[in-house]
């Protein structure tokens, strides 16, 4: 019996739409299907997410180049991967009530920092970061991609294509770092883990992507990473201070 495909709107008389390939009469979504899909996502080691996660650590260059060159069904989309990683981070922040700015400030032996109204500035800064971490991380991606274009001009990719590497790499960094937030419960700073990932993992990812080898190339990659991270921290610091100033300006005295 003729019908209209619910996906593309084309007329169809077959079990599957000849235009887009979807079932002409897809079954209703059931809880069984929902749990099956969740199980496939979490436990199927050959699912795109787990394949992507493995390569993000073992060969981030191959992962990124393959996605850019058209292997889109094989791997988890870089932006979705990045969003999943951010959600993973939020989970640990919520579980351990982690305040990254205040914890880092106090771990350096500094006391609490108050403004003229007696409010803890580190808490306010941390609240801004926690509520906007996804936006702030996006800034990191595009700062890294832009500087990558300046450092590695011979690589035939534009800034948008280079962002694929940094969505995957920063996502993998977030996933690796997040479990160490648990150390804060024992009053141990996880910052050493974060610093180690930035110093060792990011240059490795950059060299993998650009197919670079050798000590001097590693130093160049490290310089690129340090400059990227410094510029990123500077930008978000300016943004946070601007937000705090705006909040202070609009607060009745």
Which own/partner contact pairs does 249-253 have at CB distance under 8 Å and 24+ positions apart? 251/117
Residue 201: predicted pLDDT = 96
Alpha-carbon distance values, 251 to 121, 132, 243 (Å)? 15, 21, 12
Scanning the structure block, which residue is given the tokens 């991967």? Answer: 81
Task: State residue 105's pLDDT score.
Answer: 57
Beta carbons of 196 and 225 less than 8 angstroms apart:
no
Query: By three-state DSSP, how is residue 120 classified?
Result: strand
Round to whole Å and give the CA distance between 250 and 219.
Answer: 46
Residues paired with 114 in a beta bridge: 120
At 104 the pLDDT is 60
pLDDT per position as a tens digit, 136-157: 889 999 999 999 999 999 999 9
Q: Tell me the per-residue pLDDT of 58-114, one tens digit each, with 9 for 90 and over.
A: 999 999 999 999 998 889 999 999 999 999 998 998 898 887 666 665 555 545 555
> 206, exposed or middle or buried, with CB in 10 Å at 0-12, 13-18, 19+?
buried
Taking only Cα atoms into account, the Rg of the chain, rounded to an integer number of angstroms, comes to: 23
- pLDDT (tens digit per residue) in 185-228: 887 878 888 889 999 999 999 999 999 999 999 999 999 999 99
Return the structure tokens found at 240.
Answer: 């946070």
Residue of higher predicted confidence among 79 and 241: 79
In the predicted model, is pLDDT for residue 247 greater than 70?
no
Q: Is 226 exposed, middle or buried (0-12, 13-18, 19+ CB in 10 A)?
A: middle
């Amino acid at each position: 019996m003729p019908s209209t495909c619910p996906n593309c709107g084309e007329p169809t008389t077959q079990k599957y739409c000849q235009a887009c390939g979807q079932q002409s009469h897809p079954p209703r979504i059931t809880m069984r299907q929902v749990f099956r899909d969740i199980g496939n996502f979490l436990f199927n080691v050959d699912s795109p997410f787990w394949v992507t996660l493995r390569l993000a650590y073992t060969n981030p260059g191959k992962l990124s180049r393959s996605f850019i060159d058209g292997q889109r069904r094989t791997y988890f989309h870089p932006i979705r991967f990045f969003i999943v990683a951010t959600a993973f981070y939020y989970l640990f922040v919520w579980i351990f009530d982690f305040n990254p700015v205040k914890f880092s400030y106090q771990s350096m032996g500094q006391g609490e920092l108050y403004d003229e109204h007696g409010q803890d500035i580190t808490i306010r800064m941390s609240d801004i970061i926690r509520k906007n971490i996804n936006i702030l991380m996006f800034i990191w991606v595009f700062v890294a991609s832009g500087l990558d274009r300046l450092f590695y001009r011979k690589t035939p990719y534009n800034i948008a294509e280079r962002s694929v590497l940094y969505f995957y790499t920063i996502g993998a960094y977030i996933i690796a770092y997040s479990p160490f937030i648990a150390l804060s419960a024992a009053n141990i700073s996880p910052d050493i883990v974060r610093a180690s990932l930035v110093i060792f993992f990011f240059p490795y990812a950059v060299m993998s992507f650009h197919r670079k080898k050798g000590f001097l190339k590693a130093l160049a990659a490290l310089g690129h990473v340090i400059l990227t991270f410094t510029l990123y921290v500077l930008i978000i610091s300016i943004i946070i201070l601007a937000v705090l100033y705006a909040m202070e300006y609009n607060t009745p005295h």
